[in-house]
Chains A and B, each alone.
Chain A
């Protein structure tokens, strides 16, 4: 079970989207999501779908992977859809038992459902086209202006980078511990929520102790290489802004403008 989880959702590639500066991608993703909330009707969504489709084509990520990202959230989408459909008051269209489907409900269900799907696909495009290490780098760069107000951007980024290195090892360790306890009859699957929660102690306690054991070794290795903290460190791959990033930003601005125009002025 654990072996089949790929870390993050990175889909390897060198597409036009893959090579963009991670800072640009992060900011654009934010902007895209906020813009989605400005959309007022399905015409606006059509524009968004078109834009998203363009990005997907440029990113050269197979649709299979895009929909894989929707799988975990599938239930949320269905939930949002159904609740909106049945709980919105308005002009009744049909009745199923004691539940009424209203016209407004149907509209809302599709509207909210579609928005949610577009939101998730947009976010997952970020993780699909950006290596986790570049993401953390991007976050560090974006947070560094805040160093002046005390945000330890570098330390945070270091923690994230080291954590990234750790996670595969940790997942393996978790797998081992889980199997060892299962071999002793531990059951992580059956029972009510409380029982299952308690059953996690035999997993979490050894996991912690193992994790910290690995951490001691790592700390020693870092000190042996004279690590002393962030300020004076140089980078191996400096991040540079390219023309393509400016182009991408421009496209994003056009998209936002288009949506705003459509929603409020047309």
Chain B
């Protein structure tokens, strides 16, 4: 399911004295089955952008084609959009409300109008994908779970709808290192097993560098950079100038560069950095 965005513009409170241009003339493409990372400082328009992708917001101008279907067209049913594109918000555990985990995860599929037995299946699969056991947590109240578990239940609630495109906004916000890693592994597993497209919005450059095939950089409502993580994170000054950090590995590379040590390849993860440095020390 590919996504094509053309000239997307969104203005808040248009016409009022305090109107803000949240998105200005953005155009880009997201290939089917890819893993895309979106980065940008707070207020750069990331959240506004992803809300357009699943139809929660309508642009002031521009079009969004999902698999050829223009979702900005008023005649397209929201249900069709939501079936294809799932969106997990920041701190998704705040959306939990049902009496049991099972019922909460079933909420999404129910809204899609799926038959009872299929819903049951989806709930189990989704819980399994996020690393929870249906037998253990299915009948418990979602509020009795730990923070990390709650988040996984919330994510399961979206996965249960089996969207072809899964957008995650800061899925690791506020988590301790272990839970952070668990969620990332979860996302990777979902990408692998469901063969879907993943869009990850994050402030954590390390995560973006490690997982994305393509990185989109937002700045003040415009998309200013597009490319592979290697390409994007090489442009250190530009990124720093926009108030963005570099992934730990790339950051370290920058420091080395400043001292005159230039490595051949841009490492994206700590492991790659170690390799590169080993190679370099070997040659020098």
A and B touch in the complex (CB under 8 A): yes
Chain A residues in the interface with B (C-beta under 8 A): 3-4, 173, 176-177, 179-187, 201-202, 205-206, 209-210
Are B13's CB and A3's CB within 8 A?
A: yes
Are A4's CB and B161's CB within 8 A?
A: no
Taking the closest CB of chain A, its distance from the CB of B2, in whole angstroms, is: 20
Across the interface, A185 reaches (CB within 8 A) one of B51, B88, B96, B108, namely B108
Tell me which residues across on chain B come within 8 A of A183, comparing CB atoms.
54, 56, 82, 86-89, 158
Residue of A nearest to B105 (CB): A184
Are A184's CB and B157's CB within 8 A?
A: yes
- B97 within 8 Å of A (CB atoms): yes
Across the interface, B56 reaches (CB within 8 A) one of A4, A182, A205, A206, namely A182
Secondary structure at the A interface, as helix, strand, loop or mixed, is helix
Taking the closest CB of chain B, its distance from the CB of A252, in whole angstroms, is: 32
Residue of B nearest to A199 (CB): B111
Known: A176-B94, A177-B95, A202-B97. A184 touches B13 (CB 8 A): no
Tell me which residues across on chain B come within 8 A of A177, comparing CB atoms.
94-95
Taking the closest CB of chain B, its distance from the CB of A3, in whole angstroms, is: 6
Bound together, the chains give a CA A214 to CA B262 distance in angstroms of: 49
Bound together, the chains give a CA A184 to CA B78 distance in angstroms of: 11
Bound together, the chains give a CA A183 to CA B86 distance in angstroms of: 7
Bound together, the chains give a CA A182 to CA B134 distance in angstroms of: 25
Tell me which residues across on chain A come within 8 A of B108, comparing CB atoms.
184-185
Across the interface, A206 reaches (CB within 8 A) one of B88, B95, B157, namely B95
Taking the closest CB of chain B, its distance from the CB of A5, in whole angstroms, is: 10
Interface residues of B in 58-93 (CB under 8 A from A): 78-79, 82-83, 86-89, 92
Bound together, the chains give a CA A186 to CA B51 distance in angstroms of: 15
Are A184's CB and B12's CB within 8 A?
A: no
Tell me which residues across on chain B come within 8 A of A181, comparing CB atoms.
95, 107
Are B87's CB and A185's CB within 8 A?
A: no
Are A185's CB and B111's CB within 8 A?
A: yes
Are A206's CB and B82's CB within 8 A?
A: no
Tell me which residues across on chain A come within 8 A of B107, comparing CB atoms.
181, 184-186, 202
Residue of A nearest to B111 (CB): A185
Known: A3-B13, A179-B51. A184 touches B161 (CB 8 A): yes
Residue of B nearest to A184 (CB): B108
Tell me which residues across on chain B come within 8 A of A209, comparing CB atoms.
94, 143
Bound together, the chains give a CA A184 to CA B159 distance in angstroms of: 10
Are B56's CB and A179's CB within 8 A?
A: yes
Which of the listed residues A173, A177, A180, A181 has the most CB atoms from chain B within 10 Å of its own CB?
A180
Residue of B nearest to A213 (CB): B94
Q: A4-B16, A179-B89, A183-B86 are in contact. List 12 more A-B contacts (CB 8 A).
A: A3-B13, A177-B95, A180-B87, A181-B107, A184-B108, A185-B82, A185-B108, A186-B111, A187-B111, A202-B107, A206-B97, A210-B94
Tell me which residues across on chain B come within 8 A of A205, comparing CB atoms.
97
Tell me which residues across on chain A come within 8 A of B161, comparing CB atoms.
184-185
Which of the listed residues A179, A201, A210 has the most CB atoms from chain B within 10 Å of its own CB?
A179
- B112 within 8 Å of A (CB atoms): yes
Which of the listed residues A185, A186, A201, A202 has the most CB atoms from chain B within 10 Å of its own CB?
A185
Bound together, the chains give a CA A101 to CA B82 distance in angstroms of: 51
Taking the closest CB of chain B, its distance from the CB of A169, in whole angstroms, is: 13
Taking the closest CB of chain A, its distance from the CB of B126, in whole angstroms, is: 12
Bound together, the chains give a CA A181 to CA B157 distance in angstroms of: 10
